[in-house]
Amino acid sequence: MISGDTVVTRDEIRETLLELFEAETGEPLDALSDDQHLAEQLGLDSVDMVSLIMQLERHFKIRLTHEELADAVYVGQLLDIVLQKANEPKEASGSDSAEPRKMAA
- The pTM for the full model equals 0.79
The residue type of 68 is E
Q: Which pLDDT value is given to residue 14?
A: 96
Q: Is 7 exposed, middle or buried (0-12, 13-18, 19+ CB in 10 A)?
A: exposed
Q: What is the CATH number of the domain that holds 55?
A: 1.10.1200.10
Q: Which pLDDT value is given to residue 51?
A: 93
> Is pLDDT larger for residue 90 or for residue 102?
90
Rounded to an integer, the average pLDDT of 17-27 is: 90
Q: Which pLDDT value is given to residue 90?
A: 74
In the chain, % of residues over pLDDT 70: 81
Residue 34 lies in a domain: yes
Range of the domain at 55: 12-89
Residue 57 lies in a domain: yes
